[in-house]
Structure 1
Amino acid sequence: MSPDLLNGLLEGLHAAQQGLRALLHALGWAPDVHGQPSWPLAHRIAAEMLVVDAGHARRVLGALACTGAALVLLALALPWRRARWPLAALAATVLVLAPWPPAHLLLAPAVPTSLHQSPTGFRAAGIVRGQAIYQQHCVRCHGTDGRGEGPDAPQLVQWPPNLNGALLWKRLDGELFWRVREGMHNRAGVPTMPGTGAALSDQQIWEVLDYLQAHAAGQMLRESGTWDRPVRLPGMALDCRQGRSRQSRDLVGQRVRVAVAGPGVAPVADDPRLVTLVAGTLPPGADPECMPQGDAQAVEQALGLVLGIPAAELPGYQLIVDRSGWLRARGQPGQAAWSEDDLVCRSTTVPRAPLDGPVAASGTPQGDGLEALIRRMDAEPVRLTRGGFPH
Structure 2
Amino acid sequence: MNDWVLTPEQLNTLLGVLLGLQAWLREALQALGWSGTVAGQPEWPLAWRLSAEVLVFEPGQARRLLWCALALGLALLGLALALWWRRARWPALWLSGLVLWAAPWGSASVWLVPATPTSFHRSPTGFTAQSIVQGQGHYQQHCVRCHGADGRGEGPDAPSLPMWPPNLNGRLLWQRLEGELFWHVQHGLQDHRGQRTMPGFASQLNDEQTWQVLDFLQAQASGRTLAQTGRWEQPLRLPDAPVRCARGQARWLHELQPQRVLLAPSGRDAGATPVDPRLVTVALPLTASASSSTADCVADTAGLAEALGLVLGVAPSQLGGYQLLADRQGWLRARSAPGAAGWSAADLVCRADTAAPAAPAAPGAQAPPAVDGLAALIAQMDAEPVQLLRGGFPH
TM-score range, shorter chain: over 0.9
For residues 82-107 of structure 1, the C-alpha deviation after alignment (integer angstroms, 9 at most, x for no partner) is: 43222221211111111224211211
Alpha-carbon offset, residue 297 of structure 1: 4.2
Alpha-carbon offset, residue 65 of structure 1: 1.2
Query: Is 2:324 aligned against 1:319?
Result: yes
Query: Is 2:195 aligned against 1:175?
Result: no
Query: Is 2:380 aligned against 1:376?
Result: yes
1:271 corresponding residue in structure 2: 276
Give TM-score scaled by structure 1 length: 0.93
Kept in 2, the 8 Å contact 1:241–1:287? The answer is no
1:252 corresponding residue in structure 2: 257
Query: Is 2:43 aligned against 1:69?
Result: no
Secondary structure of the 1:199 match is coil
2:347 corresponding residue in structure 1: 342
1:13-32 aligned at under 5 Å gives the runs: 13-32=18-37
1:49 corresponding residue in structure 2: 54
Aligned identity (percent) is 54
Distance, in Å, in 2 between the alignment partners of 1:162 and 1:119 is 25
Which of 361, 364, 385 is 2:389 aligned to? 385
**Aligned residue identity for 2:371:** G
Which of 279, 290, 307 is 1:283 aligned to? 290
1:162 corresponding residue in structure 2: 167
1:43-122 aligned at under 5 Å gives the runs: 43-122=48-127
**Aligned residue identity for 2:308:** L
Give the aligned CA root-mean-square deviation in angstroms: 1.6
Alpha-carbon offset, residue 80 of structure 1: 3.5
Alpha-carbon offset, residue 314 of structure 1: 0.5
1:10 corresponding residue in structure 2: 15
2:371 corresponding residue in structure 1: 367
**Aligned residue identity for 1:63:** C
Give TM-score scaled by structure 2 length: 0.92
Kept in 1, the 8 Å contact 2:71–2:100? The answer is yes
1:174-323 aligned at under 5 Å gives the runs: 174-279=179-284, 280-281=286-287, 283=290, 286-293=293-300, 296-323=301-328
2:367 corresponding residue in structure 1: none
Q: In 2 relative to 1, CA 92–125 (structure 1 residues): closer, same or farther, beyond 3 Å?
A: same
Kept in 2, the 8 Å contact 1:256–1:274? The answer is yes
Distance, in Å, in 2 between the alignment partners of 1:12 and 1:322 is 25
Kept in 1, the 8 Å contact 2:146–2:165? The answer is yes
**Aligned residue identity for 1:388:** G
Alpha-carbon offset, residue 350 of structure 1: 6.7
Which stretches in structure 2 are left out of the alignment for 5+ residues? 1-5, 357-369
